[in-house]
Structure 1
């Protein structure tokens, strides 16, 4: 008999900006009432790697079979968190095509697949609101505003065949 998924929500928001360069990224994560920030240099390779490593660490810290929500500023982050396609194959993910990051894909998929579902909700940075709400506040609102599961992208990991994995 399958156990009931844990009801843990994680809010992850990725921002692009020009403060440290055109490809600067940072992830704002709220989990169990704590706030974390992952950032790095303006080199896109390094930023992407920090985002992936940080996401893996957070996913692994959440109790298994949790329902996880990621709030992203665009589909950039969602495309690689939501890596597995419907047929069980792995998507060719642009941020991971660089050799410096591709080696993290197995760990990311493994960390994600520990959970009952991973929901990707997107919020363009331009729609954060005129009242300058914090990323944390807006992320919480987005998840609260989400309707039933059919209104959000849900990932439930299919059975995998290690022999068919691209790595």
Structure 2
């Protein structure tokens, strides 16, 4: 479990859940963990691909313009190897920028992150009274969360549809 998940679980009192806890708490914890995990994966993917798209062209430009006596030994050996190195850097840069555009990892990261924030906010509001919850209150809480999750799913589907459309056009 990631540090962020542990912190959120502890903050919301969800880290000591067991099967005797009310269903809405177990369900909220599961949903929060799922959205946080998805947000983290997309955040890491976004930063990784973004770093590649920024760093590799800089490396390419630096090596191309470097005086031969400052080149690393492996680049002095054979001109075909040098060309291959620059070709690989260019291919990886192109692949990373295409993946950023195609898979919309930044948008997905924002979608999942906002869903997790909404769930946290709703859970805290629901639990802040500290009184025993009635069946109607629990039902309304679950309905509100489910309605929001359906909106999030619709946003995700529109992003996924854009991906499919882009893939079919290529």
TM-score range relative to shorter protein: under 0.3
TM-score by length of 2: 0.25
Greater C-alpha radius of gyration: 2
TM-score, structure 1 length as denominator?
0.25
> Higher relative contact order at CA 8 Å, sep ≥6: structure 1 or structure 2?
2
Of Structure 1 and Structure 2, which has the larger fraction of its residues in helix?
Answer: 2
The structure richer in strand per residue is 1
